[in-house]
Every structure is written in C-alpha cells, then in structure tokens.
Amino acid sequence: MLSSDSHVFEPPDLWQARVPAAWRDRAPRVERADDADWWIVRGQRACSFAAGTKAGLRFRGQAALEVEYHFSDVREGAYTPALFVEDNEADGIWGSVLYPSMGVLLFQESDARTLAVTAAAYNEWIAEFCAAAPGRLKGLAILDAESVESNVAALERARALGLAGGLISVSPLPGQGYDSDRYEPFWEAAAGLGLPLSLHIATNRNSEEVVSLYSEAGVSNCDAQVRASLARMVFSGVFERHPQLRVASVEFESGWVPHFLERMDYTYTQRERQEGWARFARGALPSDYFRRNVSVSFQEDPVGIQCRHRIGIDRLCWGSDYPHTESTFPRSNAIVEELLREVPEHERVRITRDNTAALYGFEPPPLRS
C-alpha cells in the first residue's frame, strides 16, 4: 500500500536552528515542563508532542492513551527516515506522503513574512528527510497561498527541492477565500509545475477554528471547512480555467462527498445564479470538476467505501495518519483488509496504491506475493 496521509514530528530545534537570527523570537521553540514538552510560539503554548506519543495505543483501550507528552516519548520513526521506512514496512506500507505535525500551526501566524521564513525552514528540513529514501517518502511544502507572489516562488523552490506538492490553508482568512481572482497566478503555477495542493485538517488561518476542532462538535463537523473551500474553487471556475490543477482533501474522510456533490449540482442548476459563479461550458456540472480535479484521502470510512462509485474510484486515496493517535498503525493491513473486504481487487489496488502513486509521483511499488 501507499499512504496518502502520514506525518513527521519535527525535532525540537528545527526552527531555532534553521531560521535567521532576526526571526527566532517569532519562530517555534520547545520548552520543557513537568507535564509535557511544549511548542512555544511568541511566548504562548501552542501544543505538546501528544499526537506523536500514542501511535497504536488506541487499540489497547482509551485508558492506554494517558501517556507522557515529551519529545522523548515520540515514536522515533516520526523523525528518523530509516525508522520511518521500517515502521511503514512493518505496517504493510511501501511509501508515504508526509505532512507536518507542529508545522500545520504555522498557518496561524499573522505576519506573512514570518510565515514564509518558518515555512521555508520546514520545507528545507522535510526535503532532507525525504532524500534519505526518495522513492518511499514524498514530502509536501508548507505554502501561504494568500501571499501569492512569494508563494509562486515557493512552489518553484519546492519543485527544485524534490517535494511532491504543497500544503495550503484549508480555511483562509476572512475575505481571502479561494474564489478570489488574486490566486490565479498561484493556481497557474501549481498546475504548470504539476504539484498537487493539499487542504489538510487543522491548517486554518484562524486559530479559533483550530481550537474548535478539539471539541466534540468541531471534530464531528470538520469537513464543513474543506467543503467551503472546495465549493468556492469549483463555483468560481478555478478547475475549468486550470484543468491540470490537482487538489486533495486530507484527513476529512470521504463519506460526505456524495451529498456534497449532489448539493453543488442542485445549487448550480436549480438556484438563482450568484455573482462570481462560473457558467461551465458544454453542460458540465460542479461534480464533473470535482471528480476530475479533486482527490479525497481517507483512513477508516466504511460509508465512503460503500459510496465509492458515487465519489469516483480514482478520487479515493487511503492513508494511515502515522504516527498520530488515531492512526491505523500498526494494524493498517488488518484494518484495510476488513474495510475493503467486499471491494473488487482492481478497485482495492487503485484506492490503496495507484491513485496515490499517480497524484504524488511514486513509482509503482511491488505487489506482495
């Protein structure tokens, strides 16, 4: 299998060692306390290392999740490339697309220049991480799409570093939605470079939205944010103008997609046309652009699998979320086997391997005998 959604855990000195001295006061650093090691951003606690210390423990019961949250408790594979590959292999996974852990919170930085500097430091580090096993590990660059001009250059730098795509905010700042014309050079550059863009959970520009994710209401309805951004892109004609652009919804599961597609098509055909809507050529519908341009990463979603033909077999990409708390590691094989038990083999191969390989540029991995 290939995992379309796995994570690294950034070492504590990543930003302090790599950003220029003038920016270190604003860059993330780690502060040790009795209860945990904490990432500190501009004097405030942002998060601990909790999400990297509990891989596999959920299978022992919720009580087992009460563990220490220090960097020393993080699974070593999350920050050591050779051990990452070893953990992959033990879990039945040939290769992984790599997302940050602490790095997703960089999107909450209000100063565009600071965001650019700290993102560049991460991008250099993840490129070095993946260079240890370039056929097995595919990293994504952190990009602030709202700073269009600088991030066209950042996209070009990502390609030069060998990175496989870019991570942009799932929910931009108010007034900066992805239906704005200002993003046209960015979409054009991503499409031209062949770099897919990812909308990953918890990459909101608004910190209050991220905080809400950790409530029962927030985590149960988190796909509302990715739906809003994708609808704006579809209805404003982004994918019509840029047919080679590829965008991925990541860690929002997939069961919501059929209803979302039906609602978009109904809105487009049955409601009064709104200012800013594209009028698609040749009778195309919003769902047509979604099924051509958007991929959906999922982890454990039986509803999505039941509805896979309405979503599109080529749109679905399985991911393990290693090494986070809710990861399927180290039981990915068994979980996927049960999840896809009634799915024909040729569809299984596309969902667990071929779709991710095509999107992120993996060479086809060997099939198990």
Q: Is pLDDT above 90 for 210?
A: no
Kindly report, residue by residue over 251-282, the tens digit of the pLDDT.
999 999 999 999 999 999 999 888 888 889 88
Measure the CA dihedral 357/94/333/88, to 10°.
-130
Please, what's the b/e burial string for 96-105 (b: 16 or more CB within 10 A of its CB; e: otherwise)? bbbbbbbbbb
Q: Is pLDDT above 80 for 214?
A: no
Helix (H, G, I), strand (E, B) or coil at 318: strand
Measure the CA dihedral 106/109/112/116, to 10°.
-20
Q: What is the mean pLDDT of the chain?
A: 94
> Distance between alpha carbon 155 and the CA centroid of its chain, in Å?
16
105 near 46, Cβ under 8 Å? yes
Please, what's the b/e burial string for 36-58 (b: 16 or more CB within 10 A of its CB; e: otherwise)? bbbbebeeeebbbbbbbbbbbbe
Kindly report, residue by residue over 52-99, the tens digit of the pLDDT.
888 888 999 888 888 878 999 999 999 999 999 999 999 999 999 999
In CATH, which superfamily holds the domain spanning 2-360?
Metal-dependent hydrolases (3.20.20.140)
- Strands in 95-99's sheet, in edge-to-edge order, are 2-7, 95-99, 137-142, 165-168, 197-200, 247-250, 294-298, 316-318
The whole-number pLDDT of residue 273 equals 85
- Residue 17 gets the label, from left (phi > 0), alpha (psi -120 to 50) or beta, of alpha
The whole-number pLDDT of residue 207 equals 82
Domain ranges of the chain: 2-360
Kindly report, residue by residue over 135-149, the tens digit of the pLDDT.
999 999 999 988 988
140 near 164, Cβ under 8 Å? yes
Question: How far is 318 from 92, CA to CA, in rounded Å?
Answer: 13
